[in-house]
Amino acid sequence: MNQAIVLINVFTVAPENQLRLIDLLTKATEESVKFIEGFIAATLHKSVDGTKVTMYAQWRSREDYENMRKNAVASPYLEEALQFAQFDMGMYEIVRQFEAEQP
């Protein structure tokens, strides 16, 4: 049984490269990643101090994510990002989700 997974990827950059990385990750997602089978959604975040960019991405399964990593169309974007940013990937399973109480 495949279980959906979440990737929380944290990139560390020099503040002058934060927007460059956001643009690159946006392009990668808009032009290739979102069309790969198993992709559910992604959210891009930037730190207020300019040194981090974090992407939260949901995939239908670990296998789907691994297939994306092998995809020749998607991989050049990560290679380019690694030229000016450090990358720390975390793979997670959703345990529980909390929502605000409605009055």
pLDDT confidence bin for 1, thresholds 50/70/90: very low
Cα–Cα distance measured from residue 83 to residue 101, given in angstroms and rounded to the nearest whole number = 44
* Cα Dmax for the chain: 49
By the 10 Å C-beta count (0-12 exposed, 13-18 middle, 19+ buried), 82 is classed as exposed
pLDDT of 64-99, one tens digit each?
999 888 877 777 888 899 999 999 999 999 888 899
**5-92 CATH pick, 3.30.70.2740, 3.40.50.11260, 3.20.20.140, 3.30.70.100:** 3.30.70.100
Name the percent of the chain lying above pLDDT 90: 75
Q: How many C-beta atoms lie closer than 10 Å to residue 11's C-beta?
A: 25
Global confidence as pTM: 0.87
Q: Is the pLDDT of residue 7 over 70?
A: yes
Q: Is the pLDDT of residue 32 over 60?
A: yes
DSSP H helices, the chain, are 18-31, 62-70, 75-81
